């Protein structure tokens, strides 16, 4: 094996260390892909001697990152991987993961984009990005909004169980905020069913006169709807037709955030 890099520089001990790390990561990727592999298979895959592969597997096994499978000679990923993954997922903050998507959509739509979650019987905005053409300066971050009157809230309500949804709505009071607010349960339930079917929600001056909004679901690793990505703007410009036209882009953005949160669907 050559002791020189492509640039012709001698790697030395430090370079050898980097090479070992590279090989160890390759071993983990092989096991992730195959499920199980023996020393010979690993050695052949990363093009090293069997003794080198054995040492690599031994070092990884000592750290709990790989373990020997039931069949002697075969190795698989160990539970140490779960420990490391847990440390990463604990930092996967939805605002941090979603902000780049919010910024891109706010620029593309020219409107205000938010991420909201459900807290008790409110939809709470965690993140906001205003597009270049956004009208008004209202900051929705931290605002507690009635879920039945907001597009984000409708997304969050639509994916609750019937029992949980009734409890949230009972707590929220279903007050008529504008003439367009849906306060009758039959009408609201129909609207939420339509939201589930098409994959996004819209509100037409239901929270404030002159304000339209649409939202799409953000899912966790296990597919649970944990947040909503919304875009809102003035009714005269952010029309119902325009929202339906932009909906696939918003849904795609929400799916991108879901992927960043570990959702594979």
The Cα–Cα gap between 258 and 24 comes to 29
Per-residue pLDDT at 1 exceeds 90: no
Model confidence band, residue 90 (pLDDT cutoffs 50, 70, 90): very low
Per-residue pLDDT reduced to its tens digit, 60-86: 989 889 988 776 678 988 888 877 776
Residue of 213, 204, 193, 194 whose CA lies nearest to 125: 213
Render 28-54 in DSSP notation, one character per residue.
HHHHHHHS-EEHHHHHHHHT--HHHHH
What would the pLDDT profile of 149-192 be if each residue is shown by its tens digit?
999 999 999 999 999 999 999 988 888 999 999 989 999 999 99
Exposure string of 212-236, with b = 16+ CB inside 10 Å and e = fewer, is bbbbbbbbbeeeebbbbbbbbbeee
- pLDDT for 144: 86
pTM for this structure?
A: 0.65
pLDDT > 60? residue 6: no
């Amino acid at each position: 094996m050559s002791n020189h890099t492509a640039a012709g520089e001698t790697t030395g001990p430090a370079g050898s260390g980097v090479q070992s790390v590279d090989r160890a990561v390759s071993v983990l990727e092989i096991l992730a892909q195959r499920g199980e592999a023996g020393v010979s298979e690993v050695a052949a895959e990363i093009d090293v001697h069997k003794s080198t592969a054995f040492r690599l597997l031994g070092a990884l096994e000592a750290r709990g990152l790989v373990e020997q499978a039931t069949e002697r000679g075969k190795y698989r990923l160990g539970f140490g991987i779960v420990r490391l993954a847990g440390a990463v997922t604990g930092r996967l903050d939805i605002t941090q993961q979603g902000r780049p998507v919010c910024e891109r959509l706010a620029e593309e739509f020219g409107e205000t984009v938010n991420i909201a979650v459900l807290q008790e019987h409110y939809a709470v905005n965690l993140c906001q990005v205003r597009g270049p053409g956004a009208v008004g300066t209202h900051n929705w971050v931290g605002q507690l909004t009635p879920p039945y009157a907001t597009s984000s809230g409708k997304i969050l309500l639509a994916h609750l169980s019937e029992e949980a949804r009734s409890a949230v709505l009972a707590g929220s009071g279903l007050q008529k905020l504008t003439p367009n607010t849906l306060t009758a349960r039959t009408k609201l339930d129909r609207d939420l069913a339509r939201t589930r079917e098409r994959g996004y929600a819209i509100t037409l001056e239901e929270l404030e006169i002159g304000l339209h909004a649409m939202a799409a679901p953000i899912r966790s690793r296990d597919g649970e709807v944990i947040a909503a990505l919304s875009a809102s703007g003035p009714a005269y410009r952010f029309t119902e037709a325009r929202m339906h036209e932009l909906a696939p882009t918003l849904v795609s953005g929400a799916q991108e955030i879901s992927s960043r949160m570990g959702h594979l669907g």
